[in-house]
């Protein structure tokens, strides 16, 4: 390895430094062609395809919007290899095998070496968003650009294997910005598109449930929040405001229990809140959308949710179908709906068959494009929204995602998760994994969606404790949204009256959300993900708190957010936390601005 690095360094010293240009190096082996394209100093693309096959210039990408930039590259070639040095990445291309090795140009440290030609296999579903991007503690990232049915596997010894059932070529992007993870994420957004800016109210508290059954029920919940002083910026109307399944997703208030939709919307706005509303990628046969989509052969013959009523998924890969989708959705937006909740964008697909996977969409077989479904669906909505020239910013929440979806004002949540402590714990790494793919906004159903495990509903002490801990953690999640499945209703006031801990601690968490929001580089959060008051099922144990240990990173001092105690970094710190506290530490030297006490984000100016 040392000899190899020495030789590499010597070659680089001899490299001629040409002026900036788009650099693409092609190496042909006896089995395939390897194309290495420099997109920028910190982005290098590697495409491999069979002799006579589809190259980089011919392959379509749903996720990547970046074009190759003119870059100053040092190039060296000898009998066995071509070496490209961008100043941030060194790519060593073996001419005999087509193998590509990436190294740091300063230290000479090898970052990533290919094991050979690769393909990928991932498949989106409810509660599982598969984005073929991974990064290393060395500071590099790899995005594999294939929206088809694929597999990813880590093998012993640090070997990563990616295979796919479909694809004209293997196509990966190597990203490296000197080892800094923030810089890596900025590079991701160069590749997949910049994240849009959301309005301020998105950062407030969202109240949601499955579902408000009438205009009056939703308006009453909003009114109760205001009367009880519970801050709220968004309330969400879930499905069936359209009526029966045959009329599924008509995108109109056809259900008589909702009267005219503008009555609901006006009431929400008059109470200084915003309305998000559920829309789906499938339609019932009585809807005008179904009829128009059927006429252009843009309905997929799959079993989906709901299982009754003859509902079918539309084909978003058909541009004409996307226009039909928007034509009817536009009416809701024109009425004043503030955010669109595009549910089931995997989409739900029950009892899939080989025939289903081979079914040809407008852009290729289902098995070759399905993981791009959420991206293309939300793209169609966003592009039409922007083209219409609305004065307010677009906001879209969707259940599935693809690399690059942040450019369409779209973020996801973790799906229909269960109300269990182990599931709660799993949300933390899930959110970190998701956002490190370059998509900055994400959230969960606070308290969990499916809650069948707790007898007595919101009177159950164990459910109260789980709800409080989940709510406390969600203060520090990009979007704070309370949601659950019926018949349970989990508005804060359902868990107790003012003065009772299950009410007070949720209210305190929501108020903290409005008073503090710069928690990126300066705040360390260690959520309490084990029951303290209960045994996790029902009965009180009598405990008021429990010891929790947090590692405080070295290199700085940390302040305990609750006590103000200054603690040295590089140590484990243990103390007891009651139900009103979670371990939160602030980096020494941080400036932490607090806003005024408000009931919604625009109630008072934030200029103090």
Q: Which residues are catalytic?
A: 343, 346, 416
User: Which residues are CB-contacts of 17 (< 8 A; sequence separation ≥ 6)?
Assistant: 72, 74
Tokens of 527: 């959520």
Tokens of 283: 């339609």
Alpha carbon distances (Å) from 249 to 79, 133, 245, 340: 63, 33, 8, 13
Q: Which stretches of 315-420 are DSSP H helices?
A: 319-335, 354-358, 366-369, 373-388
Is residue 340 within a helix (H) or strand (E), and if so which, with residue range? Answer: strand 339-342
> Using CA atoms, how far apart are residues 378 and 401, in angstroms rounded to an integer?
9
Q: Using an 8 Å Cβ cutoff, are 541 and 569 in contact? A: no
Instruction: Name the one residue in this structure whose structure tokens are 């259900």.
Output: 255
Alpha carbon distances (Å) from 493 to 224, 230, 274: 9, 9, 20
> Using CA atoms, how far apart are residues 416 and 483, in angstroms rounded to an integer?
10
Instruction: Name the one residue in this structure whose structure tokens are 């659950």.
Output: 484
Cis preceding-peptide flag for 211 (omega within 30 of 0):
yes
Q: Using an 8 Å Cβ cutoff, are 160 and 152 in contact? A: yes
> Using CA atoms, how far apart are residues 465 and 594, in angstroms rounded to an integer?
27
Burial label, 272 (beta-carbon count in 10 A; 0-12, 13-18, 19+) = middle
Cis preceding-peptide flag for 277 (omega within 30 of 0):
no
Helix-strand-coil split of the chain, %, nearest 5: 25, 25, 45
Burial label, 18 (beta-carbon count in 10 A; 0-12, 13-18, 19+) = exposed
- Report CA 236 to chain centroid distance, whole Å: 19
Nearest-Å Rg of the Cα atoms of the chain is: 26
φ, ψ at 404 (rounded to 5°): 95, 0
Collapsed DSSP state (helix, strand, coil) of residue 558: strand
> Using CA atoms, how far apart are residues 603 and 73, in angstroms rounded to an integer?
53
Is residue 435 within a helix (H) or strand (E), and if so which, with residue range? Answer: helix 421-435
Burial 151-165 (b: 16+ CB within 10 A, else e): ebeeeeeeeeebebb
> Using CA atoms, how far apart are residues 341 and 396, in angstroms rounded to an integer?
6
- Report CA 506 to chain centroid distance, whole Å: 25
> Using CA atoms, how far apart are residues 240 and 12, in angstroms rounded to an integer?
64
Tokens of 517: 């929001």
Collapsed DSSP state (helix, strand, coil) of residue 127: coil
């Amino acid at each position: 390895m040392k000899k190899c690095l020495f030789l590499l360094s010597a070659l680089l010293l001899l490299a001629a430094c040409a002026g900036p240009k788009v650099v693409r190096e092609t190496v042909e082996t006896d089995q395939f062609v390897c194309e290495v394209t420099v997109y920028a100093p910190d982005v290098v693309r590697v495409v491999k395809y069979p002799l006579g096959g589809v190259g980089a210039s011919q392959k379509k990408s749903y996720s990547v919007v970046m074009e190759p930039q003119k870059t100053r590259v040092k190039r060296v070639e000898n009998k066995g290899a071509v070496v490209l040095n961008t100043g941030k990445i060194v790519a060593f291309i073996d001419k005999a095998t087509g193998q590509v090795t990436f190294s740091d140009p300063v230290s000479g440290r090898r970052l990533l070496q290919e094991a050979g030609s690769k393909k990928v296999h991932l498949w989106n579903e409810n509660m599982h968003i598969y984005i073929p991007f991974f990064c290393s503690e060395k500071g590099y990232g790899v995005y594999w650009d294939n929206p088809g049915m694929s597999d990813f596997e880590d093998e012993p010894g640090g070997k990563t294997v990616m295979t796919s059932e479909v694809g004209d070529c293997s196509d990966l992007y190597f990203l490296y910005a000197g080892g800094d993870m923030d810089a890596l994420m900025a590079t991701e957004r160069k590749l997949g598109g910049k994240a849009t800016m959301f309005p301020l109210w998105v950062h407030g508290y969202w109240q949601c449930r499955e579902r408000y059954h009438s205009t009056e029920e939703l308006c009453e919940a909003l009114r109760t929040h205001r009367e009880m002083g519970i801050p709220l910026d968004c309330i969400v109307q879930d499905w069936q405001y359209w009526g029966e399944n045959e009329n599924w997703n008509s995108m109109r208030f056809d259900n008589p229990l909702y009267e005219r939709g503008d009555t609901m919307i006006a009431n929400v706005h008059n109470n200084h809140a915003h309305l998000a509303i559920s829309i789906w990628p499938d339609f019932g046969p009585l809807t005008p959308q179904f009829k128009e989509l059927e006429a252009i052969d843009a309905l997929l013959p799959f079993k989906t949710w709901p299982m009754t009523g003859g509902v079918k998924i539309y084909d978003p890969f058909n541009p004409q179908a996307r226009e039909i989708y928007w034509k009817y959705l536009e009416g809701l937006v024109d009425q004043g709906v503030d955010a669109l909740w595009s549910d089931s964008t995997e989409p739900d697909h029950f009892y899939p068959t080989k025939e289903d996977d081979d079914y040809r969409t407008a852009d290729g077989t289902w098995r070759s494009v399905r993981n791009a479904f959420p991206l293309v669906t939300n793209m169609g909505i966003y592009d039409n929204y922007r083209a219409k020239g609305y004065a307010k910013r677009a906001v879209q929440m969707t259940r599935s995602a693809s690399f690059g979806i942040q450019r369409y004002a779209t973020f996801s949540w973790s799906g229909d998760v269960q109300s269990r402590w182990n599931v709660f714990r799993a949300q933390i790494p899930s959110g970190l994994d998701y956002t490190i793919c370059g998509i900055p906004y994400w959230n969960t159903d606070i308290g969990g969606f499916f809650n069948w495990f707790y007898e007595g509903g919101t009177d159950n002490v164990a459910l109260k404790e789980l709800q409080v801990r989940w709510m406390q953690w969600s203060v520090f999640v990009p979007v704070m949204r309370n949601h659950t499945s019926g018949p349970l209703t989990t508005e804060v006031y359902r868990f107790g009256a003012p003065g009772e801990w299950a009410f007070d601690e949720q209210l305190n968490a929501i108020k903290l959300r409005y008073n503090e929001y710069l928690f990126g580089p300066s705040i360390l959060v260690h959520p309490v993900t084990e029951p303290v008051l209960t045994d996790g099922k029902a009965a009180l144990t009598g405990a008021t708190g429990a010891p929790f240990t947090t590692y405080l990173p070295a290199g700085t001092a940390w302040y305990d957010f609750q006590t103000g105690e200054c603690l040295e970094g590089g140590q484990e710190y243990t103390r007891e936390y009651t139900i009103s506290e979670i371990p939160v530490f602030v980096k020494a030297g941080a400036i932490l601005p607090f806003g005024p006490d408000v009931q919604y984000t625009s109630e008072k100016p934030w200029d103090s």
